[in-house]
Structures are given as C-alpha cells and as structure tokens.
C-alpha cells in the first residue's frame, strides 16, 4: 500500500467536493466567505483522503471543516489533521481553537470542551433543520491544555 503524505495546502476551494460528500454544509464560494487561513490534507498517490481547514471569524480561529473519505476512516487521519490545525493555531499565538460540530464526541475525545458561547451556531439557528434533524454543538480546544 502506498504511503500517506500529510501536507499544508493553499487550494482551499479544491476541498469543496470532499467536504460536501462528507455531509458538511458548504457553498461553492465558501473560501471567499470564510477566508481560510490554513488547510492541511492527507493524500495517497495524489488522491485526496482527508482535509481540514481553519478560518478566522468572530475574532477567533475556527476549525471550520474536517472530512475524511469513508475508505480512509478509522486510521487516525482526522485526529492527525486536527492536531496539525491545533499546532497551527498555537503557533499563530492563539490560546484556543473553536469548532461547531454535528458529531461533537470526536472532538471531545481529543480534548475539546462544549461551550455555550454559540457565536459559531448563528447560521445554524436560521436553518429549518436546526434542532430537528441537526443538533450541532460548539466546542473549544484550550491550546495550552490540550496538545493532540
């Protein structure tokens, strides 16, 4: 089996199809709207297996998107990419990294704590699926306390 390479990439919009196929709410112009500051990917022989993107909004760094192709799940790629995002945020002088998640258990296992801040869920609250079929949670990683 070919080796998996982890790399920082700037072609943020190129990850749209992966994020969309993972069921994330994403528009074609998301990169222009959310101004990504960092993306990291996992690839095998050039094929995209996983990606994560950090943005800056609400005056904080946000792990905006994280997705892993179904056939690549269960091998620690999500944890690895999250760790790279945490390292990026810490290296940029941040003390926290925020995330809004439909599956908060993954992030809790990595050390994130649920918060009532709710700024990240503002768009969610306007959606008809909010708290009907979609139950997102807002979490925060305290970077000095939770190295992954």
Domain boundaries, the chain: 4-142
Residue 137's H or E segment, with its range, is strand 137-142
CA distances from 66 to 121, 126, 128, 131 (A): 17, 22, 23, 21
Nearest CA among 84, 50, 79 for reference residue 67 = 50
Name the 3-class secondary structure at 73.
Answer: coil
The pLDDT averaged over each successive group of 10 residues in the chain (148 residues) is 72 83 85 87 91 91 94 94 95 94 92 85 78 84 72
Q: Taking the chain, what is the end-to-end CA distance rounded to the nearest angstrom?
A: 26
pLDDT digits (tens, 9 = 90+) for 60-93: 999 999 999 999 999 999 999 999 999 999 999 9
Write the CATH number of the domain with boundaries 4-142: 3.40.630.30
So what's the pLDDT on residue 4? 72
């Amino acid at each position: 089996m070919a080796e998996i390479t982890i790399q920082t990439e700037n072609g943020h919009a190129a990850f749209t199809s992966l994020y969309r196929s993972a069921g994330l709410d994403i528009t074609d112009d998301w990169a222009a709207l959310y101004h990504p500051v960092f993306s990291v990917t996992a690839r095998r022989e050039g094929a995209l297996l996983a990606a994560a993107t950090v943005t800056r909004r609400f005056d904080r760094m946000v792990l905006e998107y994280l997705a892993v192709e179904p056939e690549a799940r269960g091998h620690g790629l999500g944890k690895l990419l999250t760790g790279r995002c945490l390292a990026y945020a810490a290296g940029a002088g941040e003390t926290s990294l925020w995330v809004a998640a439909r599956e908060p258990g993954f992030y809790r296992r990595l050390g994130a704590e649920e918060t009532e801040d709710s700024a990240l869920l503002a768009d969610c609250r306007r959606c008809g699926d909010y708290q009907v079929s979609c139950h997102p949670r807002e979490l925060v990683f305290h970077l000095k306390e939770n190295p992954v």
